[in-house]
Amino acid sequence: MLREQELDEKLASLTEEDIQNLKGDELEELEEYLAGDDEHEEPEPAQLNVHISDGETKEEAVAKLAIKPEFHAAATLLQIDDSHIGNVDLEINALIGELEKQTEMMRKQDLSTADAMLASQAHMLDMLFYRLVRRSDANSNGGFLEAAGSYMKLAMRAQSQCRMTWETAAKIKNPPVIVKQQNVAHNQQVNNGGETENPPNELSEVSHELLPDKRNAGAAIPINPRAQAVGALDRTKVGAG
């Protein structure tokens, strides 16, 4: 089988008489090559597979697909990447299936794809930072100071996003530990505009009234019998004696 370049050269060198004299495999190969060019110029549109569950109408299945995140992500990828990567065409049904696998991995707490994605994005942002710095330096050397300042600002943004991306990756690998603190206060009252009654405790349940005297209230207090009445004293005699 001749390569495409060889076929192009052969086709350009052929005269009408040579084309009429072509026979066998050469003629068949040339016809297939020319027909292949026509097919490549008019690719067939991709067919979207719609899964219809039992008891579900076609309209309901299409509506479910229309709000499916994986479908919108696949359609966006096709639009951004121009429906192909290199020489390989992207197919929307295969993209949706792969995105569904990634979603299921996330549900099972498998974050390997997220780690790879963040690491790749961080490296890309780091490369973008250096490229923007070089452009800023080139504009500065050329006297275009305003453009140099704009490129440097973009470089600093790329650097900041790179740092934040690595921080996010670190948090995924080592999530922060949240310690719950419980404050216990006895007889604490918080009033935010409403009336709040404090719960009774042992002290508040005790009555603060005076306790009754359980001794015999009718018993008279005895008087010292030795204490006798004293007559009037004559201070002059007492002092003289």
Secondary structure of 82-102 as H, E, C letters? CCEECCEECCHHHHHHHHHHH
Residue 39 has pLDDT above 50, yes or no: no
Please report whether residue 204 resides in a domain.
Answer: no
Please report whether residue 25 resides in a domain.
Answer: yes
**Type of residue found at 187:** N
106 and 128 fall within a common domain = no
* 126-172 pLDDT tens trace: 999 999 999 999 999 999 999 999 999 999 999 999 999 999 999 98
Domains in the chain: how many in total?
A: 3
| Torsion angle in degrees (nearest 10) through CA of 32, 37, 40, 42 | -110
Q: Which pair of structure tokens corresponds to residue 49? A: 């597979």
71 and 17 fall within a common domain = no
Residue at a domain's end among 61, 83, 110: 110
36 and 63 fall within a common domain = no
> Which residues have CB under 8 Å from 64's CB, separation 6+?
none
Residue at a domain's end among 156, 174, 192: 174
119 and 158 fall within a common domain = yes
What is the span of the domain harbouring residue 71? 45-110
159 and 138 fall within a common domain = yes
SS3 150: helix
* 87-122 pLDDT tens trace: 677 788 888 999 999 999 988 988 888 899 999 999
Residue 175: what pLDDT? 82
Lowest mean pLDDT among 8-17, 64-73, 111-120: 8-17
